[in-house]
Amino acid sequence: MQSGGDAIRVEDLSVSYSTIVEIPATQRRHRFSRRTRIRTIEALEDVNFSIRAGEAIGLVGGNGAGKSTLLKTIAGVLKPTEGQIELWGRPHLLAPGMGFNRVLSGRENVILGGLAAGMSMAEVRDKQEGIIAFADIGGFIDLPTTTYSSGMFSRLAFAVATHVDPEILLIDEALSAGDAAFREKAIQKVKELCSDAHTIVVVSHSSTMVAEMATRAIWLHQGSVRRDGDAAEITAEYDAFQAESHETAQRDRSIANT
């Protein structure tokens, strides 16, 4: 991937899914009325944008706006209902609790994470100590990750994800539990990756973090792109919007079902 070329192109993307929910007793007309219905969630609708190699993009929006769904669709975890996504590079999704085995130690999870990202054992061994040093969790590295605080777990997961040479790194709230010193360290690492033409897409409820990590932001509202532009401007607009109103979740359609 060369700096300046597209790394991600999203065209006319829509993602919906259905779930069966119980109809409250107060909404049933009589005792033999249907008890369940199908609820169709329109998670994303007609989303279009492109991201160039070497860009760091922030995704902002309220709960249910479609941010995590978008990252999972880019990573290939979810399939588009309509539209398409083109990638120039291998995506790596970093989300809380994803990809690690909580029974294993931190050191063992470093190996597991590297292998899962497509590295050879020799490459993992070569980078292992650098990853451990970056995470900086001391002697806990040899303890099961079940003993970790959420901040320690975030540090280790971020260290692994950013040292396995990710071409496209998708970060979903993975730094929300980290302390201020590590967040600053993470921001500098993201900038370093971008200078080497790696592409970063970060989701965070912290507008400040998005403005610091990204140069551009995309604001998702009810599954659609509301604004796309300079990160500082978009996050300021989003914060003002949040202060004045409550952002609701996605549109949905409910269909009765037996």
Q: Is residue 186 part of a domain?
A: yes
| Domain that residue 129 falls in | 55-77+90-257
4-39 per-position pLDDT tens digit: 589 999 999 999 988 877 877 777 776 666 777 777
Q: Is residue 31 part of a domain?
A: no
Q: Is residue 118 part of a domain?
A: yes
Q: Are 41 and 84 in contact (CB under 8 A)?
A: no
Q: Is residue 249 part of a domain?
A: yes
The CATH number given to whatever domain includes residue 193 is 3.40.50.300
Q: Tell me how far apart the alpha carbons of residues 177 and 165 are, in angstroms, rounded to a whole number.
A: 23
- For 187-252, give the DSSP string: HHHHHHHHHTT-EEEEE-S-HHHHHHH-SEEEEEETTEEEEEEEHHHHHHHHHHHHHHS------E
Q: Tell me how far apart the alpha carbons of residues 226 and 238 are, in angstroms, rounded to a whole number.
A: 10
Q: Is residue 124 part of a domain?
A: yes
Domain count, the chain: 1
**Which residue is listed with tokens 């119980």?**
22
Q: Tell me how far apart the alpha carbons of residues 63 and 3 are, in angstroms, rounded to a whole number.
A: 33
**How many beta carbons lie within 10 A of that of residue 179, not counting itself?**
12
Question: Is the pTM of the predicted complex or chain greater than 0.85?
Answer: no
**How many beta carbons lie within 10 A of that of residue 72, not counting itself?**
19
162-220 per-position pLDDT tens digit: 888 889 999 887 666 567 788 888 888 888 888 887 899 999 888 888 888 899 999 99
Average pLDDT of every residue of the chain: 85
Query: How many CA atoms lie within 13 Å of 118's alpha carbon, on the beta-carbon side?
Result: 7
